[in-house]
Structure 1
Amino acid sequence: MGIKSFTGRRAKPSKGNPTDIKVSDYMTKKLITFRPDQSVLEVMNTLIKNKISGGPVVNENNELMGIISEGDCMKQISESRYYNMPMADMVVEKHMAKEVETIDGNMNVFDAANKFVNSKRRRFPIVENGKLVGQISQKDVLKAALTLNGQTWK
């Protein structure tokens, strides 16, 4: 008589180890981007229409120039009223955040989660060879975590 196992059938292990899951596996590649010469009013319309809170600003070569967010637009609404300046004349380049922190697409998703916690950012652009290739948001990291639910996290 052989030894019988009473353990039920196990699911096949998913490809790769959870610690190998990269940002590039979960980043958004189809991005809504903005141009430096675009009006802030256009940006506001796009943010509302697409239910997003901001997006990368790129030049004609798809090189990352900055990020414009709802907060940047809110600031312009406030200042335009205070200084009695027309918003139609405001362009993205003058109001975007130019100091942009990016992350590597090869970074582990768990390390990216840690970076989100420590930086208090909502999104990070991913740049390869100077070109914008994607963006990862806090929501993308949450999706990755749900996908890995039940696996051993080390």
Structure 2
Amino acid sequence: MDSLEQNLTQVRIQCQNNGVKLTPLREQVLRIMLQNTQPQSAYEILQSYQNEYNPKAQPMTIYRALNFLEQIDAVHRLSSTRQYIVCDHLGHGHSHHGFTQFLICDECGQLQEIEMEESIWQKLLNEAAAYQFTPNSTAIEIHGLCRQCASSI
């Protein structure tokens, strides 16, 4: 079994264990995302879905599937770019506890997902609370240049 099928099997099992349904549409959207390792917009995913499965699919169909996949921690939505990416920990029995950082290359679009230490996240929350600020995101997105792009400048 290849890694794509292993990931899909893991998500099916996770859904079954949590009493939610991975419908064919949701699975097809996840399959499209697993086939492309770069972050994608909902409209890019919609275009692939229309080409591969249903030429009449509408944007709301994809957004609903993406929302479900986000809720089960299979994909992440990048706020700064309005794109979606499959979780790096998919299929590894990982569950998110709200401490994720993304390193995003502004040149090539490469993305690295890194689990943040709880103590660092707690320090950030404490600093925000000192200013009576409550974060509504559990991820930090850091933009810059990856090693390869930085070395080519």
| TM score, norm. by length of structure 2 | 0.23
Larger helix share, 1 or 2: 2
Task: Return the index of the structure with the highest Cα Rg.
Answer: 1
Q: Which has the higher contact order (CA 8 A, sep 6+)?
A: 1
